[in-house]
Amino acid sequence: MLSEKHISIVKSTIPLLESAGTAITEHFYKRMFSQNPELKHIFNLSHQHSGGQPAALFNAVAAYAKNIDNLGALTGAVERIAHKHTSFNIQPEHYPIVGHHLLETLRELAPDAFTPEVEEAWGAAYGVLAGIFIEREGALYHRSANETGGWQGARQFTITDKTKESELVTSFVLTPVDGQAVIDFEPGQYLGICVEPAEHEYREMRQYSLSDKPNGKQYRISVKREAQATPGVVSNYLHDHMNVGDSLDVYPPAGDFHYEEREAPVVLISAGVGVTPMQSMLEMLAAKSFAKPVFYLHACEGVEQHSFNQRVETLGLSLDLQHHTWYRDIAHSNEVADVSNIHQGFMNFATLRDALPIDSGDYYLCGPVAFMQFAKQQLIELGVDSCRIHYEVFGPHASL
């Protein structure tokens, strides 16, 4: 329990944190990785290079300081981070390491302000936060280990099917080597996987959304080949080097973003590889012969990058489904240019205003952050209550 003095001191450091910005967390990560390089086996180093992870951590630290006297306001963030931590197999013994480097970072960047009283207050504050995460993560680990088909830690799976879904996306069906059952998951959740690419010094851990409904026997993930200036290490390794018969380590399903069962219309909105958790939801809704209207709205570059296109058509036979696709360019896709549910350009909900369940639907978004911000703003302007808009960010979290 934090004292009033501790709370007061931590809140007094908020201006200092805000003036330093992400310089704090950038310094923190450099310090921690230089002195504890074994943690590079856990953290996604690509997110360090992009700046996404330092920014996400800074936002989390600042939010904690601002709400240290009202921790209930952080419940959603704690749940999201705890799920992500379990997919990395974060353990209680990692927290003292992180706490040490956080306090030393504050000492090194603000030696004049980091008095013994400030150190004591932040040390106590970090201890409380670490305790919250350790408790919640422990509960998640316990649940994953004790449900039918469950386990804790790494479990070996074999690739039993590899299917190209589109120009950039390939699906991998993962079946446990031990031949036993696997724990069910909520459509929208993800798997943590661990691989050891050749010529890479560290193991690489990533999370990929599950793209099929639960079946108790195996999982399917669908992975986009990242072909940016710095190619995705793991996505390219999976595409180019992992084949049927190869094995990898898998951690139990996790994630706080998932379909919430209600007797209400469902609107699934995605762009690019953000289609994967939506596909899982659609597969589940079709399997249950969901009676309410379902809308499946997707945007991608063109027909060559449209994953699950034919599968959505098939699933629509067991649902009250409306599906629309926006291609950035359909000039070279004459076979779809005249179809009424194919559109060119940015996703625009105005044309669907009369059909969408503005007052009653549950809306699920996944895709690039800028796309989700754009989509959410349109929904708000149409009158959709923000509490019915749910979203997932691939990578470090960002607010819409």
Per the annotation, where are the binding residues for NADP(+)? Answer: 272-277
Which strand (E) or helix (H) includes residue 249? strand 247-254
Q: Name residue 363's beta-bridge partners.
A: 267, 389
Q: Which amino acid is at 332?
A: H
Structure tokens at 157: 């799976």
CB 53 within 8 A of CB 396: yes
Contacts of 86 (CB under 8 A, 6+ apart): 137, 140, 141, 144, 192, 251, 252, 254
Q: Which amino acid is at 351?
A: T
Give the neighbor-by-neighbor strand order of the sheet with 204-209.
204-209, 190-195, 247-254, 155-164, 169-176, 219-224
Q: Which amino acid is at 25?
A: T
Give the C-alpha distances (Å, rounded to integers) separating 326 from 167, 272, 274, 297, 323. 17, 11, 14, 8, 10
Q: Which amino acid is at 83?
A: H
- Count other Cβ atoms within 10 Å, centred on residue 246: 14
Query: Is residue 269 exposed (0-12), middle (13-18) or buried (19+ Cβ within 10 Å)?
Result: buried
Binding site residue list = 85, 190, 206-209, 272-277, 393-396
Binding site residue list for FAD = 190, 206-209, 393-396
Q: What is the DSSP string of 160-187?
A: EEEEE-SSSEEEEEEEETT--------T
Give the neighbor-by-neighbor strand order of the sheet with 321-327.
342-344, 321-327, 294-300, 266-271, 362-366, 389-392
Q: What is the DSSP string of 106-169?
A: HHHH-TTT--HHHHHHHHHHHHHHHHHHHHHHHHHHHHHHHSTT--SS-EEEEEEEEEE-SSSE
Q: Which residues are catalytic?
A: 95, 137
d(CA 203, CA 182): 24
- Count other Cβ atoms within 10 Å, centred on residue 335: 9
